[in-house]
Structure 1
Amino acid sequence: MPSKSSTRLAALTVAAVCSAASTVVLTSPAHAADVAVHDIQGTTRISPYAGQAVTGVTGIVTGVRTYGQSKGFWIQDPNPDANPATSEGVFVFTSSTPKGVAVGDAVTVSGTVSEYVPGGTSSGNQALTEIVRPTFTVVSSGNPVPAATVISARSVPDAYAPAGDPAASNSVNGLTLRPKKYALDLYESLEGMNVQVSDTRVVGATDPFTELWVTVKPRENANRRGGTVYGSYASQNTGRIQIQSLGATAEFPDANVGDTLTGATAGPLDYNQFGGYTLVANRIGTLKSAGLARETTEKQKKGELAVATYNVENLDPGDATFEEHAAAIVHNLKAPDIVSLEEIQDNDGAKNDGTVAADQTVTKLIDAIVAAGGPKYDWRSIDPVNNTDGGEPGGNIRQVFLFNPERVSFTDRAGGDATTAVGVTKDHGKAALTVSPGRIEPANAAWANSRKPLAGEFVFRGRTVFVIANHFNSKGGDQGLTSQYQPVARSSEVQRHQQATLVNAFVKDILATQKNADVVTLGDINDFEFSDTAKILESDGALWSAIKSLPKSERYSYVYQGNAQVLDQILVSPSIRKSCDFEYDSVHVNSEFHDQISDHDPQVLRFEP
């Protein structure tokens, strides 16, 4: 994920170009004297004055930002017009720390109107209207700040965004705002204004960048733990909004999902690269804890095989989280018989020196599990070719099988390595792998700069179980939900669809050889249970995503921008699904907590082979 302090990218303006230093260079700009803020904001997402020099813009300072790459202050006109589509606030970008200006000052501003796109035009993000290269005069101080506009369940429409203009590549930029019809139009009509939310429930825990997500619609797709579930591309959660702070970092609350910010949280409404519309608070409500506890699954019975997947987020020997991961595996997951680990890094982590072995990383985790009272796991994996599987350069993340040798055995078949493709053969009338462990079509372009699936053969109580550990291509590069393009483009899907096709074909090979074979395909699929990626994996009935055995409100393993969603899945072959003797559990130990040790929740499947 890019750093939140990433460089401020070039603004888009009329009659403007971007220099190598990402500054705006105007060519003979037009001038507009004595315009009001609502004139600058206009009734669409792009200012009618973009690229023009303006003078005599008056307003009351509602917030001053002295940190980060986007320093400046917000002003709001205390005398609004009668059009709800036109915002009365705007950000004045000063580049350096603004001096001589404070909240409550009445100011007159001159400068150039700019449309700044956080993340650059390639991100697809909307533009933020600003006044850049400003000069300003403080007319008076100590004035009352314009009353905050309340954002509430009643004011936010249920429809998320209008369809974009096909003639403009589905962009909504040129469309007249309809704030009573679409949530994104409402937020845009309040851009730069002083806004307020009250008694809001946290749906995205405080993250390392000192931000959290709340909802003003507590009943919207709510789950029993206080989150908001993302269950469809067509039905967005419109009540979510990001909260940042204009105050000291130390004063920002450490909130978990389900907690409440009681009272008022108020400040200017901004738009940024990493979440879209954001309330930058100069007043934050009081945190009321909901006492959310980390979940614990059930222990598998003697005749049940417990198989789990757990993304341990770039784990390497230098990390301080081994004891916590071990405790989660032993106590919260109840020591599954087989654990597929994703994002195990090599022995020196992200140091880019050609190291690919991860035996020290895995051994350190196994030892920590024993120290936590768990079993002495054995393990299997295949070292990748250096820097070919994506992730942090030099980290060489890969999937690893842990298994409890007192409960399950691994069938080793020699010859598996980073570049050799695993196949399916028949052994004594039953399916078998040609190599175990082995990788599925590692040379196929579908796996370029991405993790290759790891297939292994296990035996539990005399029954062979094939397990395929996956870590599909990430969603990096997809347009955000608040993109100017509606519906948004999900470019990263292309590679995941290719990957799903290969895994589905491999499972079909196993089932064609042995119709009743037990196959478990699991891991960080990086896509939703309702996605086309999941549908391709499931095609022709080869697999079924077992998380769909849970109620819709309980289907999530990850929380992103306040949306509780599925990324991690365990898919099973027909013999397992039809038996009805399985239990599925998404064990929420990370995604909802500010002190998470990974951003993913592990998943556990228990069944009788």
Structure 2
Amino acid sequence: MKNVPGKVLATSVVAAAVLAPSVVQADEMEVEVTTIVVDDDGVLKSVDYDEVVNELLDGERDGLYSYIMEHDMVGIGVNDDTIVDFDAYIDVLVSSDSSDEDILQQMIEDGEYLFTEEEEASVTPWNGENLAPHDIQGAGHFSPYEGEEVNNVKGVVTHNLDQGYFPKGFYIQSLEEDGDIGTSEGLFVVSDKEIEPGTVVSVSGMVEERKPDLPDYMSTETQMTTTQVAATEVMEMSTGADVPEPVTLAEDRPQPDEIDNDELTSFDPEEDAIDYYESMEGMRVDFNNPTISSPIDYSEVAMLPEGADVPETKAGGARLTEDDKNPERIIVDLDGYVDNDSYPATVGDTMDGSITGIVDYDFGNFQVLATEAPPELNQQDYQPGATELTRDSGKLNVATYNIENFTPEDAGQKANRIAESIADNMKQPDVIGLVEVQDNTGNEDDGTVSGEESAQTLIDAIEAAGGPTYEYSEIPPVDNAEGGEPGGNIRVGFLYNPDRVSLKDGAEKGGSEEAVAYENGDLTLNPGRVAPNSDALQGSRIPLAAEFTFQGEDVVVVLNHFNSKSGDDPLFGLEQPPERGSEEQRHAIAEEVNGFVDGILEDDPDANVVVMGDLNDFQFSKTLDILKGDDLTNMIDTLPEDEQYTYNFTGNSQVLDHILVNNDLAGSTTADILNINSDFSVAEDRASDHDPVLAQIDFGFDGWSAEEVVTYMKENLDIGYKAGDSEDSVTQDLILPNEGFDGTTISWSSSNEDVVTADGIVTRPETGTGDEVVTLTATITNGAEVQTEEVTLTIPEEAPAVDISEARALDGGMQAKVQGEITAINGSNYYIEDDTAGIVVYDENGNIDAEVGDVIEVQGATGAYYGQEQITVAYADSVMIAEADADALEPATVTGADIGEDTEAELVTLENVEITEAREYGEFTAVDGEGNTFIVDNEFTDVPVEVGDTLDSITGVVVYTFEEYKVAPRVESDLQ
């Protein structure tokens, strides 16, 4: 048997023989065998020949030798720069009497049976490891290879990712599992490549632990990480492989009922949910027949797998308790499958079928990135309800309501929704503590601190919704000193119904830095701020105390908005149990407010005190224990447990908003939480992200007589007019009240049912027929007492249609009828255009069923939403499709200098474009062929460009967001 350098390694028999020297002298040239090349499942790998020889001479068989024996040898590396085909070499060797060296020399000289340059370039050194995703992941939260370069990590591609805050890349799973549930079989690969799922790849690169890409104001210090390989090389080895079947959560692997029970000192996926999800990071998973546990937000919905054992809310969601943080919740990212603004997910809705996706981590939570469209929602018959605290002439109704950064810009749909919830669902409380009222210019940082115009916007909307004309009292904050959105100056303030209560006379309103006290049975300032100069309240909202008089009884109400939980460790974070650093300030604020209440009750033990607001902490928290002290009772604790929630955070329904009363009042106070927002999505008309909390205090007064009640209701009869309407001009349906205090009923009749029905439905006279005058008669009944009141209304004839440019010039709140072709749709916003201009049509109640290219005729109220002109359509009969699938509207060719108010909402094209700068939130700065700068926005779709790209043209709709005009491409083909 010949002693052949390559053949020696072909079998264990030959390998045991004495090896020939690696350098031999042939007749005309020196031949040095330097490497052996093997086929490692489609990837060519080279091993050092001398190292193999040394290993065998040392008697070792577990390293290079074993690796070579497990794979097919395909080449012999000679003289460092030439690779001879191994099979060809063996064929010649077997049929020739020449020496090994002569054969190698001849093959090199002839140039036959040598690797091509391309084949040689594909050969990579073997690093001594055959790695799979489970090796890179390891049984823990950090990879054992973190910070190391790895080669030849093989797996099958399961999904490509290019969205949101995630890096671009793809997921792979191991070709063979290791049988260890602690080591995930999945892995994320950072790469610009998009590879067909089912492709087997070999990946080389740096192993990293990726923190979430959070906004600047959020810390990543205690956020978990995602193990990934930043690829330097990706080789596609084969296609058509089966993608691994998903692991079925809660079935294949039961869910732990604790997030962590050992402070992360051990890794136990069967006991700790934080380890459970980590052990499947990057893997395909599914879960069956889920229940919705949160409204949609940023395309994410929290869900509960079938059979999840959680403390339930009345809606069927998961309720956060002191002992249960509900780790069974699964955050599902539905990006690309549903629209955030129109997806009607309501807590308690269900799905028949499975959610399938990949486990990853972002914003403090493990989540499932959906890789398939979700099953259809089974929407339960669950609607926002009204309080059972009926209007009673002898009882005081108070409420606290966080209205989420409310400004005059919210006039329209948001103001109307909040107003309707106050007028109808909350039944018009006597005193409402508003939380998160911004100043008159919103987040414009211009030194404005007053919020009077913001409040008036809401007061007008409440009146239009059929509610009373409230009055408002506040003390402006110090500019940019009390938290919230920069420039917004959020504060707390009181709405009160002057027909029912009054601010007690005798004390002046306090200033922003004046501290109120309680002396001789009254507040020294009314209203006044509690401890505005205390260190405890620095950077946070200052509590506001006001003294109201109700039928001769004085009540001090202290309204609060404690500092937020911003900066606290996430439930699923590197610190276990999570540190809640923000609660230290809440404890200090609670001590200040408790001390203030102590002072009131020391001065007057018979005083009536209500403390309420958004306290940003739970009913079982230390903050509430401090606040209650020995003086107060939290009325939240008196409610059924499944009703105890005012807010939903990532699927955990929880209490943040509270009403407390002094202990002597507790027995005569009844509370109610109206879950009209936190269970519902934007598409389901939520008015805010918080639910209002109400309390009714029974002072033991005798109610009014039937005659007094009916007379009061007659004198204060409030008809609700839509925006821009009054009794002199009614163009839209009316809101007609049907109940009042003490069980009073109100019925209506009309002098002309064809124009205004007894239910308030308005049908305007046709154009050219003239206006109509209609009399509505209200019959007000309480027992045997009956009185009537007439209201005379003018209903103008239908307005003739106007072109869009004329509609844009109308004052806000005016009715307009326009016709235009739909050029783009974003949720409830329809961009339409005619020959004169473009405008946004806001579909307030989901009445428009039309597509891009349809010509629609709409009638609605004009106005501006954050500076962008729009028409709000509120009723189905205000929409008509004039022409379906019309000829595509040709975009106007413009320059960057033309992008502005004159082209707002129009479809335009800009030519010879270069992308010059990446901005925040997926936007770019660009320059057109004439050197004009403009902004490319991602209002409708992510923009697949990079800095330096040049384009023949960009087509898009001109939008106005964040005080800038931008061009928003609708689809990828808008970029040429």
Question: SS at 2:318's partner residue?
Answer: coil
- Which whole-Å CA distance do the structure 1 matches of 2:138 and 2:209 have between them? 13
Structure 1 unaligned spans of 5+: 1-29, 165-171
Out of 225, 246, 249, the position equivalent to 1:148 is 246
- Equivalent in 596, 610, 615 of residue 525 of structure 1: 615
Structure 2 residue aligned with 1:555? 644
Report the CA distance shift for 1:520/1:607 in structure 2 as closer, same or farther (over 3 A): same
| Unpaired segments ≥5 residues, structure 2 | 1-125, 700-976
Q: Distance in 2 between matches of 1:535 and 1:32?
A: 61
**TM-score scaled by length of structure 2:** 0.56
Deviations along 1:104-152, whole A, 9 cap, x unmatched?
2111111111111225774301111111134211222232210000001
Paired amino acid for 1:366: I
Tell me, yes or no, if structure 1 residue 358 matches structure 2 residue 479. Answer: no
Aligned mates of 2:247, 2:334 — CA distance in 1 = 18
Contact 2:277 2:366 in 1 (8 A): no
Corresponding letter in the other structure for 1:574: N
2:233 corresponds to which of 135, 143, 165: 135
Question: Which letter maps to 1:323?
Answer: N
Residue 169 of structure 1 aligns with which residue?
Answer: none
Is 2:698 the partner of 1:591? no
> Does the C-alpha gap of structure 1 residues 295 and 32 become closer, same or farther in structure 2, counting only changes over 3 Å?
farther
Cα distance in 2, alignment partners of residues 445 and 116 from structure 1: 38
Greater CA drift, 123-132 or 112-121: 112-121
Q: TM-score, normalised by structure 1?
A: 0.89
Larger relative contact order (Cα-Cα within 8 Å, sequence gap ≥ 6): 1
1:78-97, aligned counterparts within 5 Å? 78-94=175-191, 96=192
Does the Cα contact within 8 Å between 1:31 and 1:53 map onto a contact in 2? no
1:3 is matched with none
**d(CA) in 2 for partners of 1:108 and 1:265?**
29
Tell me, in whole angstroms, the C-alpha distance in 1 between the residues paired with 2:408 and 2:554. Answer: 33
Q: How does 1:63-462 map onto structure 2 within 5 Å?
A: 63-69=159-165, 70-94=167-191, 96=192, 98-99=193-194, 101-118=195-212, 122-152=220-250, 155-164=254-263, 172=264, 175-207=265-297, 209-216=298-305, 217-232=307-322, 234-245=323-334, 247-250=336-339, 253-298=343-388, 299-319=390-410, 320=412, 321-412=414-505, 413-426=507-520, 431-462=521-552
1:124 touches 1:484 (CA, 8 Å); kept in 2?
Answer: yes
Distance 2:580 2:127 in 1: 40
3-state DSSP class of the match of 1:318? helix
Determine the structure 2 residue equivalent to 1:476. Answer: 566
**What whole-Å deviation, never above 9, does each CA across 1:513-534 have from its counterpart, x for those lacking one?**
1112110000000000000100
Call closer, same or farther: CA 1:374–1:32 in 2, change over 3 Å: farther
Q: Which residue of 1 aligns with 2:121?
A: none
1:261 Cα deviation after fit: 2.6
Matched, 1:516 2:606: yes
Partner Cα distance (2:531, 2:267) in 1: 49
Look up the SS of the partner of 1:523 in the other structure.
Answer: strand
Structure-2 separation of matches of 1:488 and 1:32: 41
Hey, what's the Cα distance between the residues in 2 that align with 1:425 and 1:455?
14
Mapped contact 2:364–2:573 kept (Cα < 8 A) = no
Match of 2:555 in 1: 465
Distance 2:373 2:417 in 1: 35
Partner in structure 2 of residue 500 of structure 1 = 590
Distance 1:177 1:283, change over 3 A: farther
Q: 1:118 to 1:146 in 2, by over 3 A?
A: same
The amino acid across from 1:408 in the alignment is V
Q: CA RMSD in A?
A: 1.7
Q: Which moved more, 1:409-418 or 1:561-570?
A: 409-418
Distance 2:649 2:586 in 1: 19
Contact conserved, 2:157 with 2:199, CA < 8 A, in 1?
yes
Match of 1:51 among 147, 161, 175: 147
Does the CA-based 8 Å contact 2:542-2:560 persist in structure 1?
yes
CA-to-aligned-CA distance 1:13-45 (integer Å, 9 cap, x gap): xxxxxxxxxxxxxxxxx9664211111111111
- Structure 1 runs of 4+ aligned residues shifted over 4 Å read 119-122
Instruction: Give the conservation status (yes or no) of the 8 Å contact 2:154–2:175.
Output: no
**Residue identity in the other structure for 1:142:** G
d(CA) in 2 for partners of 1:139, 1:106:
5
- Aligned-partner Cα distance in 2 for 1:33–1:112: 15
CA distance in 1, matches of 2:225, 2:594: 41
Letter paired with 2:200: A
Partner SS for 1:553:
helix
For 2:670, what is the secondary structure of its paired residue?
Answer: strand
Please give the alpha-carbon distance, in whole angstroms, between the structure 1 residues aligned to 2:375 and 2:156: 23
CA distance in 2, matches of 1:117, 1:32: 30
- Give matches, 1:569-588, under 5 Å: 569-577=658-666, 580-588=667-675
Q: Which has the larger radius of gyration?
A: 2
Taking the aligned partners of 1:128 and 1:105, their CA distance within structure 2 comes to 23
Q: Return closer, same or farther for 1:31/1:400 CA change in 2, 3 Å cut-off.
A: farther
Distance change in 2, residues 1:68/1:134 (3 Å): farther
Determine helix, strand or coil for the equivalent of 2:569.
coil
Q: Is the 8 A contact 1:526 1:568 kept in 2?
A: yes
Contact in 2 for aligned 1:246/1:282 (Cα 8 Å) = no
Following superposition, the deviation at residue 446 of structure 1 comes to 1.2
d(CA) in 1 for partners of 2:232 and 2:370? 21
Q: Is the 8 A contact 1:380 1:437 kept in 2?
A: yes
- In 1, are the aligned partners of 2:355 and 2:370 still within 8 Å (CA)? no
Match of 2:240, SS state, is coil
Aligned length: 559
Aligned-partner SS, 1:123 = coil
